[in-house]
Amino acid sequence: MTPPRKLHIKSYGCQMNVYDAQRMVDAMAADGFVETANADEADLVILNTCHIREKASEKVYSELGRLRVAREEAAREGRDMRIAVAGCVAQAEGDEIIRRAPVVDVVVGPQSYHHLPELLARAAKGGKAIETEFPAEDKFNFLPQPKSDAIRARGISAFVTVQEGCDKFCTFCVVPYTRGAEVSRPVAKIVEDVKRLADNGVRELTLIGQNVNAYHGEGPDGRPWPLGKLLHRLAEIPGIVRLRYSTSHPRDVEDSLIEAHRDLPALMPFVHLPVQSGSDRILAAMNRKHTAREYLEVVDRFRRVRQDIAFSSDFIVGFPGETEEDFSATLALVMQIGYAASYSFKYSPRPGTPAADMQEMVSAADMDERLVRLQDLIDSQQSAFNKATIGTTVDVLFERPARNPGQIVGRTAYLQPAHVMASPDIIGKVLPVRIDSLERYSLLGELVTTMPSQAAHAPSSQTTIGA
């Protein structure tokens, strides 16, 4: 019997790339590949790339440089290493990748990776295989389901793509070009995927989409269902104790989503709601189609139904034309909201986007300085949010053994890592934890065994779910 071939996959960027990478592993498993953490011993290396900022794109080429050396080494040992580039750089650059890095055999875009096995077979006959069309067929109908042991190995928390693509065309963003138009998966398909995950130990779901709250997949009644209704349906699936979704656009927050936060204890009170800037002038230039005030109103609508709800956001500093006054408006908005966490980036011009042609570039020095000021403010808000947990009891969904022997790590409703000394059989359970201290971003505490009803923030504590 020939040994299984080995696949190494490296994913960059967003949660959807993490999910896509898992589906590529599932697709190649059906073709006899097993995953390896070591690129040097792999028969196939896939780079699942991100095009969102220039730095992310360029990383791919330095990695391909390293892989060229690994491939030569493998050839000396009589092994044939194949290299594929998938994801958004593949979509955006196509055959340019092979021109810059002839070591690459296959280039495949994010909507075509279900064709990976046949593209690799084509490349094996000599030559290169490139597929970056947006196919009319839906890749989800062709991808094999993950095997039970693969789901279990991935842990109790899983991503599920429910929506892809974007029709918003923010002027800085490549996503509408690399991921294509907005498409929502039908409710029945998502339910089927989630049941399979839950049957194999998954307890927490994060529904993902580039614009997840634009979800409008076909429901069993033949009508489009909004995200709120989908969340209600998924909350009914036995075993699923926590639901999350990401990333939301402030313009697509329907009342049914707000109501889901009011009515579903499993829906975590933590919402990633990117605003990008607090200046109306910059928001307009970004084509975000909302003002700072409208964003604040959306936040208020959530807060009215759940006072314990917390927010995170994405920010871009140094968008073309951003003045000190515009940037101050961003700081003011951050102060007003009080975020639990946030991501902030320096503006990176992306080829083919409208903003790349805008002339009034902010100097590198100003960008650096603004990024530091914004990140200092965000860090101070995050620290205050985390510190406020000390002395309280919070529900934690336990995920896996921690690095320190005897410790188990889980997450609070707000995705804060929380560590306790306990037996691994708490993995997969939501249990109340008394938080004693904070170590950087991690909470340290003890399981509360006597007074389960005192758990704060999240839903039903002491829920024992078979792993």
Binding residues for ligand SAM (CB under 6 A) = 14, 52-53, 172-173, 175, 210-211, 247, 249, 274, 276, 314, 316, 345, 347-348, 350
Residues 6+ apart with CB under 8 A from 76: none
Nearer to ligand SF4, 287 or 462 (CB): 287
**Neighbour-count burial of 137, counting CB atoms closer than 10 A to its CB (0-12 exposed, 13-18 middle, 19+ buried):** exposed
Site residues for ligand SF4, 221-250, by CB under 6 A, read 249
Query: Which partner from the list ligand SF4, ligand SAM, none does 433 bind, CB cut-off 5 to 8 Å by kind?
Result: none
Q: What is the DSSP string of 192-237?
A: HHHHHHHHTT--EEEEE-TTGGG--PBPTTSSBPPHHHHHHHHHTS
Give the H or E element holding residue 63. helix 54-76
Q: Which residues pair with residue 295 across a beta bridge?
A: none
Q: Which of 142, 169, 343, 441 binds ligand SF4 (CB under 6 A)?
A: 169
Instruction: Give the binding range for ligand SF4 (CB under 6 A) out of 90-98, 138-146, 172-180, 186-194.
Output: 172-180
Instruction: Give the binding range for ligand SF4 (CB under 6 A) out of 17-25, 32-40, 167-175, 339-347.
Output: 167-175
Virtual CA dihedral for 16, 17, 18, 19, nearest 10 degrees? 50
From residue 148, how far is each of 129, 145, 156, 197, 399 by CA, in Å?
Answer: 31, 9, 12, 8, 18
Q: In what order do the strands lie in the sheet with 106-108?
A: 33-35, 5-11, 44-49, 82-86, 106-108, 129-131
Instruction: Give the binding range for ligand SF4 (CB under 6 A) out of 166-174, 201-209, 304-312, 367-375.
Output: 166-174
Residues 210, 244: Cα–Cα separation, whole Å = 14
3-state secondary structure of 359: coil
Query: Which partner from the list ligand SAM, ligand SF4, none does 416 bind, CB cut-off 5 to 8 Å by kind?
Result: none
Nearer to ligand SAM, 12 or 345 (CB): 345
24 phi-psi bin (left φ>0, alpha ψ -120 to 50, beta other):
alpha
Query: Which partner from the list ligand SF4, ligand SAM, none does 253 bind, CB cut-off 5 to 8 Å by kind?
Result: none
Q: Is 176 in the site for ligand SF4 (CB under 6 A)?
A: yes
Residues 240, 195: Cα–Cα separation, whole Å = 9
Nearer to ligand SF4, 176 or 432 (CB): 176
From residue 333, how far is each of 107, 299, 313, 326, 425 by CA, in Å?
Answer: 42, 12, 11, 11, 44
Q: What is the DSSP string of 422-454?
A: --GGGTT-EEEEEEEEEETTEEEEEE--S-GGG
Residues 6+ apart with CB under 8 A from 460: 241, 265, 430
Q: Is 166 in the site for ligand SF4 (CB under 6 A)?
A: yes
**Rounded to the nearest whole angstrom, what is the least distance from the CB of residue 174 to ligand SF4 in the complex?**
8
Let me know: does 283 contact 250? Beta carbons within 8 Å.
Answer: no
Nearer to ligand SAM, 88 or 426 (CB): 88
Query: Which partner from the list ligand SAM, ligand SF4, none does 279 bind, CB cut-off 5 to 8 Å by kind?
Result: none
Nearer to ligand SAM, 104 or 283 (CB): 283
Q: Is 210 in the site for ligand SF4 (CB under 6 A)?
A: yes
The bridge status of strand 407-411 relative to strand 430-439 is unpaired
**Rounded to the nearest whole angstrom, what is the least distance from the CB of residue 322 to ligand SF4 in the complex?**
16
Query: Which partner from the list ligand SAM, ligand SF4, none does 176 bind, CB cut-off 5 to 8 Å by kind?
Result: ligand SF4
Q: Is 173 in the site for ligand SF4 (CB under 6 A)?
A: yes
Let me know: does 51 contact 350? Beta carbons within 8 Å.
Answer: yes
Nearer to ligand SAM, 195 or 346 (CB): 346
Q: Is 168 in the site for ligand SF4 (CB under 6 A)?
A: yes
* Strand ranges for 326-429 from DSSP E: 341-346, 393-401, 407-411, 417-421
Nearer to ligand SAM, 142 or 343 (CB): 343
CB 37: neighbour CB atoms within 10 A? 9
Distance of alpha carbon 24 from the chain centroid? 16
**Rounded to the nearest whole angstrom, what is the least distance from the CB of residue 217 to ligand SAM in the complex?**
18
**Rounded to the nearest whole angstrom, what is the least distance from the CB of residue 197 to ligand SF4 in the complex?**
25
Nearer to ligand SAM, 218 or 314 (CB): 314
Nearer to ligand SAM, 171 or 412 (CB): 171
User: Per-residue string for binding with ligand SF4, 322-361, x by CB under 6 A?
Assistant: ----------------------------------------
Residues 6+ apart with CB under 8 A from 401: 407, 408, 409, 424, 427
User: Per-residue string for binding with ligand SF4, 113-152, x by CB under 6 A?
Assistant: ----------------------------------------
Instruction: Give the binding range for ligand SF4 (CB under 6 A) out of 16-24, 135-143, 164-172, 388-396.
Output: 164-172
Q: Which of 17, 211, 342, 393 binds ligand SF4 (CB under 6 A)?
A: 211
Distance of alpha carbon 103 from the chain centroid? 29
> Which residues of the shown chain bind ligand SF4 in the complex (CB under 6 A)?
166, 168-170, 173, 175-176, 210-211, 249
